[in-house]
Structure formats: structure tokens, C-alpha cells
Amino acid sequence: MEDLLESYPQGARGDPDAPIDDIWQSPLFNNLKDRGGAPFLPGLLNEGRVIFGFSVDSFDPFGMKTAKQSVSSTGVWIFCVNLPPHLRFLQENMLLVGVIQGPHKPSKDEINPYIQLVVNDLQDFWHPGVFFSRTYKYHFGRLYKGMLVPVIADMLALRQILGLPGATKAHYFCTFCDLDIDDIDILDRSEWPEKDVDLIRIFAKLWKDAQSERDQTSIFHACGLRWSPLLELPYFDPIRYAIIDSVHSLDLNLFPNHTRRLFRIDVNVKVGGDGLVTRPSPRTVRMPSKKELDFCRHLIWKNEPRLFYQLLDLHRSVLYGFCQAEGIRGEGRKLLAGTKVVLAKNICYWVSHRDPCVFSRT
């Protein structure tokens, strides 16, 4: 077992276009850094380096497997990514950290205290490391350092762990980009705004340090973020380290959606659908009033130091309407898209490069 922790291939293949069979061959693993900025893997000769994975999922403790069960408990697991795939997820090689007994799933940030317990131990593995006084190969002990990289869960659990809105139809609907739900028809990936990890940490910290639940609610409505204990890990990337498990994302969501909604395939119909269906009616998008737009222009004309946060207090449609009127797209973008945070950033950048006295008043 100790040999396996150290001998599993580290780094990607020589051919950058070769298929990636396992997470160890991904560019992400090649770019992992330690506290000093040096490659985390393989590490110093006298140290062991391990990568942990983290998973959360709910289940019916009475063994009921039907959907919409009335009783739910939540399990928390950790696994070691150093092990090869055929051993990595065997029951004897995974650690059941704990079970949140229920009878209902923890709501919103109620899961944070349980995640905090895991983070506290992972902090020690990051720095200064955990010294094992004796192992099979090192009779005088060895220092091990570790990182938590993949966090694997279904969409709803993953959003809760990361402090995102629970509803997949919320404006902040995506865990990987800052596209708004109103822009979901944009299929060109080059037009999808990227999330900003630094901003995520800033807003999450603001939520954590808020003086009241009312303030926390205001912050959440403004930026769609709550605090997650995982952000205490200085290296943790809430965008690239978050993985939606393939069973939920593909087998239970995308495949049925294409089969039932797009192709209209129905076992109760003798002849299945062929995909030639009318396009669904467009979503109703809220339009800003003239009064709201005028107030937005007033804030921008004043250009106070806290303009960015003032803009976040406005409805997304107001920011969208102002950007549309002034032709603000964001650097390198052809289309107007993004969450409230993206639009507010673009407006502030536009303001910093423009004289407020010449703003259009129409």
C-alpha cells in the first residue's frame, strides 16, 4: 500500500493530445503548487505527498431507493487519489468521515460545521504536515503533506458545499462560469464569463463576517455566495476542484433530457419522435423601468468609491439594460452576458476609462 501511494504515475503523458484516462494525467495535477510555489508533486525525497478527494451525498437510512424519500441522512467520505483507479474506490480504501443523521438533509449553510471538522484536519496536512512516527517502509517515521483537490457530488450537494444557491434555476446557476440564467441560450463557450476566485473569497468572507442574518441575506442576493469552510484551505479552487459526478450529470440529467424533451421519445407511442419539434417559448426576462435606469445612471455619475457594491444592490436587469444602452460588453466579448457581478465589474471598468460627465442621459 505504501508503495502504491508513491509509485502511481505522476504528471501528464508526453503527448499533450493523448486521451486523459485518469485525473493524474490532467494538466491540473501538473500545476499543483506547495506553500513555497514549487510543484507539489512528487515533492521532496524525504516527504510523502498525498492527494485527497472529498464527497458528500444523501441516502435513505431505511434502504428505500425510490425518489423523493421522506427520510434522509447525509454521508461524508474521503478517498485517496494516490491509489490507482481499481483500488481507489474500494470500500476498505475509503474513509467514511461521518454521517449527518437527519431525518432531513442539512439546509443551506447548516452543513458548514460538519465540513469544518474535515477542513481542520486537512489544514494540518497542508502545513506543517502530519508526521507518522513509524510506517512499514520508514521505521523512524516520515512526514506526509496532503491537499484536497477533487470535491465530487451531485449538482445540489456540490452547490451547497460551495455556498452557491441551491436552485439550479437561480441567476447564478453554473458552478464553473459566471453566465447568468437569462443568458443560458448562449452556446458559444468563448462568450461565457469566467468566475473570479479572488472575488469568490472576498464575497464569501463578507457573508461570514456579516453582523446579522439580514446582512447575510443581502450579500447572498447580491453575489449568490455564502461562506464555505473549504475556502479556509489557501490552495482550494472552488471552480476547478468542483466535479459533478457523471451519474447525475449525464445518465440522470442530460441523457433523459435529450431523450424525452428534445427527441420526444415515448415508450407509450408506437412511433418515437424525430427531434422535429417546435422551439419552446422564450423565457420571460424582466425589463427595467426608466426610473430604475435613471437611478443607476445617477450612481454611476456620482462614481463613489463603493460604486461596485452599490451596483450589486440593483436588479440584474437594470445593470443589463445600462450595459446594453452604452454598448458595454466586457473585454474581448462580442455578446453581452454575465451575472450581476460580471456586469457590475464591466461597468466599473468602463467608468474608470470614461469621464462621468459625458454619460448619456437617454
Per the rule left: phi > 0, alpha: psi between -120 and 50, beta: everything else, 141 is left
**pTM for this model (two decimals):** 0.82
First to last CA, the chain: 70
> How high is the pLDDT of residue 320?
94
> How high is the pLDDT of residue 265?
74
> How high is the pLDDT of residue 69?
61
Q: Is the peptide bond before 128 cis (omega within 30 degrees of 0)?
A: yes
Tens digits of residue pLDDT in 202-252: 999 999 999 999 999 999 988 999 999 999 999 999 999 988 877 776 777
* Nearest residue to 87 via CA among 148, 3, 11: 3
> How high is the pLDDT of residue 348?
93
List b or e across 281-303, with b for residues whose CB sees 16 or more CB atoms inside 10 angstroms: eeeeeeebeeebbeebbebbeee
Mean confidence (pLDDT) of the chain: 85
pLDDT of 164 above 70: yes
CA angle centred on 127, ends 125 and 129, rounded to 5°: 45
Q: Where is 48: in which H helix or E strand?
A: strand 47-59
Tens digits of residue pLDDT in 114-150: 999 999 999 999 999 999 999 999 999 999 999 999 9
Q: Across-strand partners of 74?
A: 58, 100
Tens digits of residue pLDDT in 274-283: 545 555 555 6
Tens digits of residue pLDDT in 55-98: 998 888 887 766 666 788 899 999 999 999 899 999 999 999 99
